[in-house]
Amino acid sequence: MEPEFFKVPHLESLYTQPDLLRPPANAVPTQISILDYTARSARKLAVGDLSNLLATTHADSVTWIDVQGLGSLELIERLGTLMGLHPMELADILNVPQRSQLEEFDDRALMVMHAATASDEHFCSQQVSLAIGRNYIATFQEDPQFDCFQSVRDRILFGKGHIRQRGADYLAFALIDAIVDSYFPVLEIYSDRLEALEAETTTAPTQKTLTQVHFVRRELLAIRRTLSPQRESLNALLHSDSLAILPTTAIYLRDGYSHLVQILETVEIYRELASGLVNLYLSAIGHRMNEVVKLLTIISTVFIPLTFLAGIYGMNFNPASSPWNMPELNWPLGYPLILSIMLVTATTSLALFWKIGWLKTDGIGGRSPSQSNKP
């Protein structure tokens, strides 16, 4: 049963505007968890307690409302009414994906960020919105499956760190720091992939290698496009004049900002490495082609005298006038013999070319990766 939220009449009328708020396509049902804590204790609240939250919580308590899933539009609208969020703010929360941004007000702020949810296959992210008030934080996540705030919950529930001793702005820093830190495991994945591609490029480069390098470059570009506006938003929050962010929290926000800058610098380094792998691939292919041309030159040099001899034996000398005039023309099996020699020579050459990989289609002038690992 959904809770009966506190109503704000002038805001409630704004929520009835058609097509202003729409849940994302394929959005999961909304789940809400509430943590209310002071320096001495922390408690979980039921969603039904949210209607009386402002009246029951103490002035020194901090409330964290975590909304996971954006599928329940009515529930999110009521929550926005309770917190005094403007419909345009809820539109930024619901209409995903949004560019990372910061909206500042006198006593609160809304920050839209993106947390990394990459797998081993490709990079992806989910939008995370933070409504920051004087004594509350509301977070809105697209998918509970990619929750990046579990460590923050544990620190609150078990009294670890300094979150309980500080206000809502410090909780905002902890949540932002968790979002930023979600990119470090992603960078580890791409570091391993670039290392594997470098080894493959130097040993047995194929067209597939080049395709994978270009794919990694596009993925890193997507990460940079996601993080660049996020850096601007965090920098704006760092210099914010909103009363929701106290000056004592600025030093912690600077630490989170430095982590974000470090991630962006690492992404740029990886993109340069990927560009270097493209050049390395082209150099390796060019070197391999040079080796092929050298070997073909050797083969041509060997067969030029044989061609010359074949031309000599193609001249019409009369064997009857002299026993030295092409006696093999009188052999009963001379013609089948020379054809057999030609067939054996051609078959041997093709077998040699197949063994060294020139007749295979998996690469340009080189062995396949499975063959290159064989002794």
Note the pLDDT tens digit of each residue in 335-356.
777 777 777 777 777 777 677 7
Rounded-to-integer distance, Cα 318 and Cα 239, Å: 104
Per-residue confidence band for 20, with pLDDT thresholds at 50, 70 and 90: low
Q: Residue 313 has what pLDDT?
A: 64
Structure tokens at 36: 């209310």
| pLDDT value, residue 7 | 36
CB contact at 8 A, 221 and 192: no
Most confident among 15-24, 279-288, 322-331 (mean pLDDT):
279-288
Nearest to 267 by CA among 180, 145, 199: 180
Bond before 323 cis per omega within 30 degrees: no
Q: Where are the alpha helices (DSSP H) in 120-182?
A: 150-157, 168-181
Lowest mean pLDDT across 34-43, 79-88, 335-344: 335-344
| pLDDT for 298 | 63
pLDDT value, residue 266: 93
DSSP 3-state of 129? strand
The candidate with the shortest Cα–Cα distance to 172, out of 102, 230, 244, 124, is 244
pLDDT of residue 267: 93
Judged against a pLDDT cut of 60, whether residue 14 lies above it is answered with no
According to the model, what pLDDT value does residue 368 have? 45
Percent of the chain with pLDDT over 90: 16
Report residue 369's pLDDT band, with 50, 70 and 90 as the boundaries: very low
Across the range 94-105, mean pLDDT stands at: 85
Region 157-168: mean pLDDT is 86
Distance CA 63, CA 135 (A): 6
Burial class (CB within 10 angstroms; exposed 0-12, middle 13-18, buried 19+) of 41: exposed
Which SS3 state, helix, strand or coil, does residue 366 take? coil
Average predicted confidence (pLDDT) for the chain:
78
Q: At what angle do helices 207-238 and 250-313 cross, to 10 degrees?
A: 160
List the structure tokens of 249: 């929290």
Q: 332 pLDDT exceeds 90?
A: no
Query: What end-to-end distance do the CA atoms of the chain give, in Å?
Result: 68
What residue spans define the domains of the chain?
9-280, 316-375
Tokens of 49: 């307690």
> What is the number of helices (H) and of strands (E) in the chain?
11, 7
How much of the chain exceeds pLDDT 70, in percent?
80
Decide if 94 contacts 76 (C-beta within 8 A): yes
pLDDT of res. 180: 92
Pick the CATH number of 9-280 from 3.40.640.10, 3.40.50.10860, 3.30.200.100, 3.30.460.20: 3.30.460.20
Question: What integer pLDDT is reported at residue 366 of this predicted model?
Answer: 46
270 pLDDT exceeds 90? yes
Whether pLDDT at 114 is above 50:
yes
Token pair, residue 290, equals 């040079």
Which helix (H) or strand (E) element contains residue 221?
helix 207-238
Is 374's pLDDT higher than 60?
no
The dihedral built from the CA positions of residue 322, 326, 328 and 329, taken in this order, carries a sign that is negative
| Residue 276: burial class (beta carbons within 10 Å; 0-12, 13-18, 19+) | middle
**Mean pLDDT, rounded, for 254-258:** 88
Calculate mean pLDDT across residues 125-139: 88
- Among residues 91, 94, 98, 123, the alpha carbon closest in space to that of 113 is found at 98
Report pLDDT for 112: 92
Contact 47, 165 (CB under 8 A): no
62-68 and 136-141: which strand pairing? parallel
Kind plus residue range of the DSSP H or E element containing 309: helix 250-313
Tokens of 263: 């991630």
Q: Which of 296, 284, 125, 126 is nearest to 204 (CA)?
A: 284
Could you tell me the strand order of the sheet in which 136-141 lies?
Answer: 42-45, 31-37, 62-68, 136-141, 125-132, 109-116, 101-104
What confidence tier does 372 reach under pLDDT thresholds 50, 70, 90?
A: very low
Give the pLDDT confidence score for residue 10 in this predicted structure: 36
- SS3 assignment, position 141: strand
